[in-house]
Structure 1
Amino acid sequence: MDQQPAGTDRALQAARKALDEAPEGEPQPHWSAWVDHQELDIMAGRCWAELKRPLRSVPVLSRALDAFPDEHARDKSLYLSWLAEAYITAGEVEQAAAITRRALELSTDVASIRPRQRIDVVLAHLRPYSDVAEVREVLGLAGP
């Protein structure tokens, strides 16, 4: 487990280098067709959130999601769920509740169950903090 952050950092740096230094006219990695710098930032933030490294996760996810259009509600609500988890890990449950509320709002009319499944994971992590008003409100908004 101790090597995971270092390995993750190396892989993310390699991906960023591949995006930055892609020679024109040469075949590119298959993943480069759908990954740009914003997507790479989101993936990096998700990695750090999963590794319980909120000081790395929160800034990169916040920056990327601020520029991510709400029109992509399914994806944005999913990505916000990782940001909320990072805030929970950091002990910032009020901010996690606010982010979770936004994810819930975005996912309301989405024709995919995946965002709600991810949000439910975050809600489970928030439940122990139901004595906090913001958490109580988002739990109520989410329903049973």
Structure 2
Amino acid sequence: MSRDEIDVMAGRVLIELGDPASAAPLLTSAIDGYDAEHAREVALYQTWLAESYARAGELDAARGVIERARSTTAAVNSARLIRRVEEIERLVS
């Protein structure tokens, strides 16, 4: 696993443990480490970043991130990603 993948997993765990504010910096750093070639992964990781913001009460930030993930989803054929984006959109609406 790369450092970015480890940070994504750590961010996901922090969200599940109820510490979404600590997850956001890890997820942001990991997302920034990926290039456009990994659009599906970036969009999926953005959903977790949006979830971390939402669970920390930062709904505007969450909506901005999930909108970026949604726009990427349009170019990527992934049922898992579509379901995940919809799940987070319900969380922030």
**TM value normalised by structure 1:** 0.61
1-structure distance, mates of 2:36, 2:15: 21
Matched, 1:70 2:32: no
| Alignment check: 8 A CA contact 2:23 2:49 kept | yes
| Alignment check: 8 A CA contact 1:49 1:83 kept | no
- Say which structure is richer in helix: 2
Q: Which has the larger radius of gyration?
A: 1
For structure 1, the 5+ residue unaligned runs are 1-34, 128-144
Q: Between the two proteins, what is the percent identity of the paired residues? A: 37
Match of 1:56 in 2: 22
Match of 1:115 in 2: 81
For structure 2, the 5+ residue unaligned runs are none
Match of 2:8 in 1: 42
2-structure distance, mates of 1:71, 1:98: 22
Deviating above 6 A after TM superposition, structure 1's stretches of 4 or more consecutive aligned residues are none
Specify which structure has the bigger relative contact order, considering alpha-carbon pairs within 8 angstroms and separated by 6 or more residues.
2
Matched, 1:104 2:70: yes
Question: Which amino acid is 1:82 matched to?
Answer: W
Question: Which amino acid is 2:86 matched to?
Answer: D
Alignment partner of 2:46 out of 76, 80, 88: 80
> How many aligned residue pairs are there?
93
| Alignment check: 8 A CA contact 1:58 1:87 kept | yes
Aligned-residue offset at 1:62: 0.7
